[in-house]
A and B are shown apart, each in its own frame.
Chain A
Amino acid sequence: MNKIIRVALIGTPNSGKTTIFNELTGARQHVGNYPGVTVEHKSGEIIKDGYQIKFTDLPGTYSLYAYSPEEAVSRNYLIKEKPDIVLNVIDSASLERNLYLSTQLIEMDLPIIFVFNMFDSLIDKTDYDFELLSKLLGGPISKTIGNKGKGIRELLDVIIEFYKESSLRKKIRINYHDEIENEIKKISDVFSKENPDFDFNESDNLRWISVKLLEQDPVFIKEIIQQTDELSYQKLETQVNNSISHINNILKSEPLRLIAEARYGFINGALKEALISKKESKESITDRLDSILLNKYLGLPIFAFFMWLMFQAVFKLGDYPMNWLNMFFAKLSEWLTDIVPSGLLQSLLVDGIIAGVGGILIFTPKIMLLFIFIAFFEDSGYMARAAFIMDRIMHKIGLHGKSFIPMLIGFGCTIPAYMCARTLENKNDRLITMHINTFMSCGGRLPIYILFAGIFFPNNAGNIIFSIYLIGIIFAVATAKLLRVTRFKGEAEPFVMELPPYRMPSFKSIFIHMWERTWQYLKKAGTIILAISIIMWFLFTFPLSADNEPSSLEDSYAGRTGVFISPIFKPLGFDWKLSLASLTGTAGKEVVVSTIGTLFSLSGNSIENNMDSKEEKSSEQEKVMASISKSYHPLIGYNFMLFSLLYFPCIASLVVFQKEAGFKELMFQIAFTLSLAWFVSFIVYQIGRFFI
């Protein structure tokens, strides 16, 4: 049986940690050039030389201070899981800054292998005696170029050798000022005396615990409070307080700063000692690009241009593959109609599954294009610049520049947008960003807009859709302001963000990233939407009439439900059909279109299958669209778009919302968006009807 080696990967954001993880395990995971791409730890494993090596990719973190959820996840994993080996991935281009995290790992006395990634960028600038540096840091150094797959095999050999040979591991101590050392000793003594049952109360960790207490790490202190009795903690508190005051008085600075300075001192010392030669760096391409892209006059217009380009490409370029898919599903329906005898099975396949799921799948190319652009921006390093440019505007609405990124992703799909909000360190910022993300028109709502704007405002469809997007943004801004002064009071998180060097993203990385997100969309189409389509078909078709034929629409279960809930929607101008469509839209906004399609035509494919290819519209579909047009006034059409914009995106997104923000916030999200959608539509209809 293979021996198991548990290896954790840790490193600062942009150190190429995830690339190394992918190369080691072959796992399909996003490689980002934007801080905080890995928000959960992911694992993969390989078997080599009789060893089963299990890798865990921890979120990127600058320190182990637990400032953000990522840092807390990483630290807790290291403390509680106690991996056999820690791979500390380091960006060789900025050794000094990257080694700061290493000093904290050294202090925790972990078995570390230092992976100097992007090694090619280091040898261009500086040369070190790596054997000496390895001795100074207390662990082997492995050199890799992750995006080219170089040094990975050697790294695996180092892992196995390091696991077998405990002599390769050296205990290194980072020395602080004598006064701090004395206080560390005192705190350690009190701690070991008062907390014998503490989780990581091992003699090796006592020094680290004392340093953390002197640093006043709030999350760490909270953990200690939870695990110690009140009397012990009071004694400890008194000692820590005394130690801090003593250090403040003698050294005229806080322990937090002095400890950080000592860590950098250790790094500088080690690097200086191992330095062989250093070349002067010239102005980089990044600096030259930033002088244009971050220019105070040009930055915003260039960014706006990129966004315009993205949406143009998605909507214009995406039309072609969308039409091809359209034709494919139309042909598939025809073929199924030919080979399957007419009856319930044919109706289920054609009217239920193809109309429902096919109607969603045709949007896949557009979603893929959107994710390709977003992946390119992230991996190239431009996304961090976008946050920088937007910070001045976002700050005005009480949000962080980084909030803009989930909002942007929200135009594609709200699910990854909710997950991306994790990159915000401050809980209030994160929750506000998630709540307002609902108003960013996701890809699922677009079919509704295309359908209704096309039917009611054929000459101004583009402007009408743009107005809906804009209204969404206005509501997002207003809600952010409102939440900031009511539920989530306080200042927005200070903006501190690394602007990584521009890098040409690899095709593989963009493809992996795009595919992961598209897959989520496809999974939704294949699971929730497929199920809903079948349920909807059942509700539309049953109960069967006396002669075993599908019942008329009004008599069907769906019709009855629509009629039952229609009083709620009547003040908004919606009849039972629109009421029912809104209800089914909770399963996914895309379903609204297929429901309306089914409601207005149960024969052949639903209308959305051809709504984008005007030339190919069959006379029957024109009839359906004309029937919708005749049934409602344009005001109701517009109001329905507004209503669809404002209530929560879909059940799948709510599941993610609950996971990320908790049950209480989920309830608020549902109640807030539903009531807002109702009130806004109510006001628009009630005022608008005076003019019609």
Chain B
Amino acid sequence: MFARNLNFKNNRRFSHNKIIHSVKSDVLFLCHAEKNTKYIVDNIFAGHCLTQRLLSIGIIPGEVIGVGDISAWGPVTVFIKGIKIALGRGVAGKIALRRIKSTGDDK
């Protein structure tokens, strides 16, 4: 009850609005990223639990992320904070990245 009232619907709406704002700029989703390239995490458009899991393993907005192996289907490997992580394609489709060169505001 409490959990339902409080958050999830609102959060999702909030995230969805952000997608519309973000996609127009130089943003691409991890599933469309290029192999062996570094990017900056722009945003995560996932539900509450998955967002929390991604944040806890180090995928946070502003962080540099290295894309390792990526193929037309199957999971994607990324390097972040010195560790290698495998992410399913569905998850990769929820992580927005910025190109390092074009953004110019790398942290």
Bound-state CA distance A494–B45 (Å) is 13
A497-B56 contact, Cβ under 8 Å, with A248-B14, A294-B69? no
Assess the B10–A256 pair: CB atoms within 8 A. no
Residue of A nearest to B85 (CB): A498
Q: Is B37 an interface residue (CB 8 A)?
A: no
Bound-state CA distance A221–B54 (Å) is 21
CB distance from A376 to the nearest CB of B (A): 20
Which residues of the partner chain A approach B91 to less than 8 Å between Cβ atoms? 494-496
Q: Is A237 an interface residue (CB 8 A)?
A: yes
Assess the B85–A221 pair: CB atoms within 8 A. no
Assess the A237–B74 pair: CB atoms within 8 A. no
Q: Is B100 an interface residue (CB 8 A)?
A: no
Mask for A223-261, Cβ within 8 A of B = 1, else 0? 011000000010001001100110010000010110011
Which residues of the partner chain B approach A395 to less than 8 Å between Cβ atoms? 88-89
Assess the B83–A391 pair: CB atoms within 8 A. no
Q: Which of A205-234 contact B (CB under 8 A)?
A: 215-216, 218, 221-222, 224-225, 233
Q: Is B57 an interface residue (CB 8 A)?
A: yes
CB distance from A398 to the nearest CB of B (A): 12
Residue from the list A65, A257, A286 in contact with B84, Cβ < 8 A: A286
Bound-state CA distance A240–B77 (Å) is 37
- Interface residue tally for chain A (C-beta within 8 Å): 52
Q: Which of B1-21 contact A (CB under 8 A)?
A: 1-3, 5-7, 10-11, 14
Q: Which of B54-103 contact A (CB under 8 A)?
A: 54-58, 60-63, 68-69, 71, 73-75, 77, 80-91
Residue from the list A62, A245, A296, A388 in contact with B86, Cβ < 8 A: A388
CB distance from A494 to the nearest CB of B (A): 4
Assess the B77–A495 pair: CB atoms within 8 A. no
Assess the B10–A62 pair: CB atoms within 8 A. no
CB distance from B97 to the nearest CB of A (A): 16
Residue of B nearest to A237 (CB): B2
Q: Is B23 an interface residue (CB 8 A)?
A: no
Mask for B31-59, Cβ within 8 A of A = 1, else 0? 00000000000001010111111111110
Bound-state CA distance A382–B88 (Å) is 18
- Interface residue tally for chain B (C-beta within 8 Å): 45
Assess the A216–B84 pair: CB atoms within 8 A. no
Bound-state CA distance A222–B77 (Å) is 34
Which residues of the partner chain B approach A495 to less than 8 Å between Cβ atoms? 75, 86-88, 90-91
Which residues of the partner chain B approach A221 to less than 8 Å between Cβ atoms? 2-3, 6
Interface of chain A: mostly helix, strand, loop or mixed:
helix
Which residues of the partner chain A approach B86 to less than 8 Å between Cβ atoms? 384, 387-388, 391, 401, 495-499
Assess the B88–A65 pair: CB atoms within 8 A. no
CB distance from B20 to the nearest CB of A (A): 14
Which residues of the partner chain A approach B90 to less than 8 Å between Cβ atoms? 491, 494-495
Assess the B60–A260 pair: CB atoms within 8 A. yes
A401-B88 contact, Cβ under 8 Å, with A254-B11, A254-B14, A296-B71? yes
Bound-state CA distance A568–B10 (Å) is 57
A257-B82 contact, Cβ under 8 Å, with A237-B5, A495-B91, A499-B77? no
Bound-state CA distance A97–B84 (Å) is 11
Which residues of the partner chain A approach B68 to less than 8 Å between Cβ atoms? 290
Assess the B74–A94 pair: CB atoms within 8 A. no
What are the 10 closest A-B residue pairs judged by CB atoms, nearest first? A495-B88, A392-B74, A63-B56, A260-B55, A94-B82, A499-B84, A296-B71, A97-B81, A62-B56, A494-B91
Chain A residues proximal to chain B, CB less than 8 Å: 62-63, 65, 67, 93-97, 100-101, 215-216, 218, 221-222, 224-225, 233, 237, 240-241, 244-245, 248, 254, 256-257, 260-261, 264, 286, 290, 294-296, 384, 387-388, 391-392, 395, 401, 491, 494-501
List 17 other contacts, CB 8 Å, given A290-B68, A391-B86: A65-B49, A100-B58, A218-B48, A225-B1, A241-B5, A244-B6, A245-B10, A261-B60, A264-B60, A296-B69, A391-B75, A391-B88, A494-B91, A496-B87, A497-B86, A499-B84, A500-B83
